[in-house]
Structure formats: C-alpha cells, structure tokens
Structure 1
Amino acid sequence: MRVDLFNFELPPERIALRPARPRDSARLFHVDGGKPFVHRQVRDLPQLLRAGDMLVFNDTRVIPAQLEGLRGEARIGATLHKRIDLRRWQAFVKNAKRLHEGDLIRFGANVTAIAEKRLPDGSWTLFFKGDEPVEVLLERAGRMPLPPYIAGKRPTDEADRKDYQTIFAEKDGAVAAPTAALHFTPDLLNALEGAGIGLETLTLHVGAGTFLPVKADDTQDHQMHAEWGCIDKKTASRLNQVKQNGGRLIAVGTTVLRLLESAVNEEGQIQPFSGDTSIFITPGYRFRAIDGLMTNFHLPKSTLFMLVSALMGLERMQAVYAEAIAERYRFYSYGDSSLLLP
C-alpha cells in the first residue's frame, strides 16, 4: 500500500508535552465496531469492558538511555535502542561523522564507551567499559529518552523520570515507554478487578526504532525494526484460557499487540515466546490473538497508524483521527487514549 494513504494533518498544539493528572483522567475515544463514536475517560474502562475480559500490559521499564559525551573535543549524542549483550548496546548517534571505530566516548560521571562498529543502518555498537552493570551507569549519566516530538519542545526534567514510566514497569530494557499503560492508576486497577476484568503482563523492550519515520513510498519496501519480547508458558496458558472461556484479550498498547500476534499460531493459540520480533502489521493482516486494543494517538504515516488501520479499517481510523483532532484530543506519548474494538 502507498504510505501517503496514512498521512493526516495534525496541528502542533495537539501534541501533549505532559501527561494528564491524575493519569486516569485522560480522555478515551471509544470505537466499538461500526457503532457511533463515544467520548469517555480512561477511568470509565470498567464500564466499557465485560466481566471475563482480560487487559494485557507490557511490564518493560524504560532506562535513561540518552547520553551526551565527548570524543576528544567533538560532542557526541547517543540514544541506546537495543541490547546486544551485557556490555554492548546498539545506539543511534548524533554527530556520527566525527566518530570512528575504536574511538573512546566519555559520557561523564565516570561512564565511558568504545565505538566498536558502525552498522549498515548507520547506528553504532557501543561497548561500555568497567565492571558495573550498564543499567547502573545509565542511571548515573543518562537521561530519560523522551520522543523527539516532546524533547524538541522542552528539556527533559526530573518529573519525566516518573511520568515516562508505567505502573507496571519492572524489567529494565526499554528505551521508549509502552505509553498506552501510562494512564493506569492503582484505583483504576482495583475498579477493573472489581468488575471481573483480568490483568496480565508480558515483556517487550520497546526500541527507539518505534519513532523512526517510514521512508519508503510503499509499505512493502519498509524494513521494520526488531524488538525483544518474552511470554512464558504460564502466561500463555492463562491468556488462552481467557479465550476458551469466552473472554476477550484486549492489548494495552501496540507493543503488547505485536508480541501477542508474533506468538500466536494459525489456530489462534498463543505460544510461549522469547526472542526478537519485527512483525509489521498493515491493512489486510488477519488478527489471531487479540480482540481489541487500547492505544494512544499515533504519528502520520507511522507503522503504528498503519497497525490501527489494519485492525479497524483505514477509512474508519481516518474518521476517528479527524474527530479526535476536532474534539481537541491530546496526541502521542503523553496524550489521550482510544479503545478500539473491531
């Protein structure tokens, strides 16, 4: 499909620079099949779902993956986006033309890394020196990796260390938040459980590649980035049991949806999974694992807008986004949410 079919005009003032407070007060655009659109709040979820349904969350934790340093006198910026091993990370690098293989980068706070190798996509393999875990080094020298549409408008601050982390954050490794889950609070979780709605977690470490633009003119020519995810055997069994009992699996975020659809077999059974996924979902895809999706509003011509268009239909999502803009919804990572039930 032509990528320009997924374009739309978004007024810059619709981009949220801070999350809603409290988090569950964010607006929720409810799209249920072909029924008329309904505008609610995230805290209304217990009334919009059914007893026996299950919400599935991503328990990845965002690490402070943005670094600023020096190679000699040259300023170097690095955004880590995928772990290679205990001491190596793949990173996007600013001012990379000043970098050569074997160069030492000093990031401050006694954190140094060697630029080991430039990769075919232009990113670099960085080897972090020392004995301390890389996560400890990042806590000392790194900043939260806010997406460019926020970081370009204001500096990262201490509030982001908490704001850009979900209530489920447990396993270190993401360099972007699974933002659909940013809206959840302890009160909302209690209300969902009281309504008989199940809660489950799995892990997908979101990479910075999620913000990369689609440069191809046709979707079939786009190379999707890979991210590491895991669903253990017990979790897969619980998810399958929900469907066997007639409940619906609602993915909270596109990261959860992509992992579940990577792990499902042709018969619709979710299998244990551990490894990379680079699944790219566009209109025409047949969903086998999920029955609905809660997700924020995405960028024009992005792989994520293509994904929601695959779930609900392109014309339907074009109408949803047009109405969301007219109704002054807040867009992107810190913005409002939608509940999409095909």
Structure 2
Amino acid sequence: MKLSEITFDVPKKLVAQYPLEKRDESKLMVVNRKERTFEEKVFKDVLDYLNEGDALVVNDTRVFPARVFGVKEKTEAKVELLLLRQLESTMWEVLVKPARKVRVGNRIQITENLGCDVIDNTTSGGRVVRFDFNGADFFDLIGKVGKTPLPPYIRREAEEEDKVNYQTVYARKNGAIAAPTAGLHFTEELLEKARAKGVKIIPITLHVGLGTFRPIQVEDISRHSMDSEYYEVSPESAEAINEVKRNGGKIFAVGTTVVRTLETVATVDKFVKANSGWTDKFIYPPYMFKIVDGLITNFHFSGSTLFLLTCAFASHDQMMEAYELAVKKKYRFHSYGDAMLIV
C-alpha cells in the first residue's frame, strides 16, 4: 500500500479543540465489516454491541504533564523540555527547545528541587538527561510544574482542565505523553453498566509516545519505522483475556494501542502471554489479527499509522468510505473528537 492511498482532507473546523462536556455523548459510527454497513449512534450505545462474556481491553497508561520549563545554568537562557520516555530511574530521553542552545554537559534547573544534566544526544535530535530531585517523588514534582503535552493539531495552549479531560477515567500508570484517546469516551458509570452486563474490563499498559503523532513520510508504507513504546501485560490480564477467548467471548480493544500490545504478545495458537518490554509493532494491510474481534477508536489524521491499522482491521475501501461519511456528517476528529466501533 502507498501513502497516497491513505491521504485525505479533513476540514480544520472538524478537528475538535475541546472535549464534549459529557464524555459518553460523543457520536459513535458503527462499522460492520461483514455487512458493510454504517450506523450512527451515541457512544453510550456501545454497550448494545457487547454481550455477557465479552471483554473490553483498556490501556491504563496515565498521561503526565511532560512539558516542563527551566533555565540553563550560568546563562539563564530559557529552555523547554518534552519528556519522551524513561530510560532508567533518573534518566530520560527528551526533546528540547531551542535545541541548538542545549548541549552535552549543560545543566538545566527547573525548580529549586528539580534539575537535570544533559549527558548525551539522540539520533532523532533529542537529548538524554539525568534528573536529580533530592529523593522526592519524580512524578509528583513534574505534576506540580509541568504542562499537559497536547497534540499538535489542538491549536491552543494546554489548560488546567486538560489534566483531567485528556486522561481516561481508568488511567493508573504514569508514563504516556499522549492519551489513548479511544478510552476518553468512557465514564465510570458506563464501565459499571458494562460490568453489570457481564462484560469484563481488562487492563493492559502501553505508554504512548511521540511516535503516535509522527506522520508516515515514505510513499512505500512498509519502509516506515515505528518508535518503540513500553508495554506491560500482567499474568492476571493475560489469563483473563485467554479465559474470555476459551469461553467463546469476544475481545474488544479500546484503541489502537491496545491492538498493538495484544498483537505483540499474541501466540501462534491465538492466545496471549504475559510480558513486558518495548514494542515497535507496525500493523498495516494485509494483516491477520490473532486476538481482537472488535475495535473502538477515534477518527485519525490522514497518512497516519493509526488510520492504517483501522484499514488492516476493516478494509481500506471501507475506512475511506467511513471517513468520507464522517466529514459529510460533521463528525469531530482526533483526540477530543467522536468515536468509531468496528465489528
């Protein structure tokens, strides 16, 4: 498949800049792969497509306010850091602005109790830094001074409300710089209704990184390289997923990050194994899925790996038709936008 085949236009006015007041009242387009139909629903109707014995697999990563601001020691020059991923307990890969002014050996002070030393460059133009924080809790310190790293297509500065809005209600583990946005539509009440219906809610973790926004820039998509992201599938979650599959239930992935994680840990006999590590799983057509029966996702940007995954799960023609309909019906796109269920 070529990049030009997954390129389309989305009017800027359809790119959601803020979430709806009620998470579960966004629009929901239901795409039936077998019947080749499109239904227009409200997100809370998603439970109509789940049965007792099915499972919703969710990504419990937590977005932390990864944009922090400091000054270079000696020169007092202002520096912005975007924390990308934790390499060791005190060591992080970061992007810096202005990059030309930040060199190996520089010291950056963020607060009186939080600073870092630049110890290396990365091949992608970033830096490796080592933080010192006097024995305090690192994420607590960052939480007090950092800003939520909103996606580039949200054309405004992060606001205090984004720390709640740009977070799933089941977020537990700090580490993401972007939300697994399909999960933003769920409320605690909706999850309770799912449990009452006999649907299992099973958590896995994938810390979403900068690569989720990185566009494909080669015409031959097979030459695109994904950034590695850290994931965890616990023994308890693996067993819960396998039990659902053994009993004939369906696995509904809440978001593309869940799909990529489950396919990373899938076995040849179409079960999953507990594991943790780094994955650069890139899913594009044609692809044989081993685990997932249904996918809840948002409306993604043109030429993205996220859109490609939906094309692999449904079909390219069906997804292009769905997006054409979404534009016509004025669905809201991207992180704070509306949702799609593919069954």
In the superposition, the TM-score normalised over structure 2's length comes to: 0.96
State the SS of the aligned residue for 1:279. Answer: coil
Q: Deviations over 1:265-313 (max 9, x none)?
A: 1110101111001000010111101111100111110110111111111
Instruction: Give the distance between the partners of 1:97 and 1:302, measured in 2 at CA.
Output: 29
1:134 equivalent among 132, 138, 142 = 138
Alpha-carbon RMSD: 1.3
Instruction: Give the distance between the partners of 1:4 and 1:262, measured in 2 at CA.
Output: 27
State the SS of the aligned residue for 2:295. Answer: strand
Which residue is 1:193 aligned to?
195
State the SS of the aligned residue for 2:287. Answer: coil
State the SS of the aligned residue for 2:341. Answer: strand
Which residue is 1:279 aligned to?
281
Instruction: Give the distance between the partners of 1:163 and 1:294, measured in 2 at CA.
Output: 19
Instruction: Give the distance between the partners of 1:13 and 1:58, measured in 2 at CA.
Output: 29
Which residue is 1:17 aligned to?
17
Contact 1:80 1:208 in 2 (8 A): no
Identity of aligned residues (%): 37
State the SS of the aligned residue for 1:319. Answer: helix
Which residue is 1:82 aligned to?
85
Contact 2:230 2:279 in 1 (8 A): yes
Which residue is 1:212 aligned to?
214
Which residue is 1:62 aligned to?
63
Which residue is 1:146 aligned to?
150
Q: Deviations over 1:167-212 (max 9, x none)?
A: 1011111111111111111221122122222211111111122111
**What amino acid is the match of 1:67?**
V
**What amino acid is the match of 1:121?**
S
Instruction: Give the distance between the partners of 1:125 and 1:186, measured in 2 at CA.
Output: 38
Unaligned runs of 5+ in 2: none
Contact 1:86 1:133 in 2 (8 A): no
**What amino acid is the match of 1:140?**
K
In the TM superposition, structure 1's runs of 4+ consecutive aligned residues that sit over 3 Å from their partners are: none
Contact 1:109 1:140 in 2 (8 A): no
Unaligned runs of 5+ in 1: none
Alignment of 1:1-342 (within 5 A): 1-33=1-33, 34-71=35-72, 72-108=75-111, 110-131=113-134, 132-150=136-154, 153-341=155-343
Instruction: Give the distance between the partners of 1:212 and 1:68, measured in 2 at CA.
Output: 23
Instruction: Give the distance between the partners of 1:55 and 1:326, measured in 2 at CA.
Output: 30
Instruction: Give the distance between the partners of 1:114 and 1:218, measured in 2 at CA.
Output: 40
**What amino acid is the match of 2:141?**
L
Aligned residues: 339
Contact 2:69 2:79 in 1 (8 A): yes
Instruction: Give the distance between the partners of 2:97 and 2:290, measured in 1 at CA.
Output: 40
State the SS of the aligned residue for 2:320. Answer: helix
Q: Deviations over 1:106-140 (max 9, x none)?
A: 23464321111111111211211232232122112
**What amino acid is the match of 1:32?**
N
Instruction: Give the distance between the partners of 2:186 and 2:112, measured in 1 at CA.
Output: 34
State the SS of the aligned residue for 2:117. Answer: strand
Contact 1:62 1:177 in 2 (8 A): yes
Instruction: Give the distance between the partners of 2:120 and 2:234, measured in 1 at CA.
Output: 33
Which is worse superposed, 92-101 or 326-335? 92-101
Contact 1:86 1:134 in 2 (8 A): no
Instruction: Give the distance between the partners of 1:108 and 1:12, measured in 2 at CA.
Output: 38
- 1:260 Cα shift? 0.3
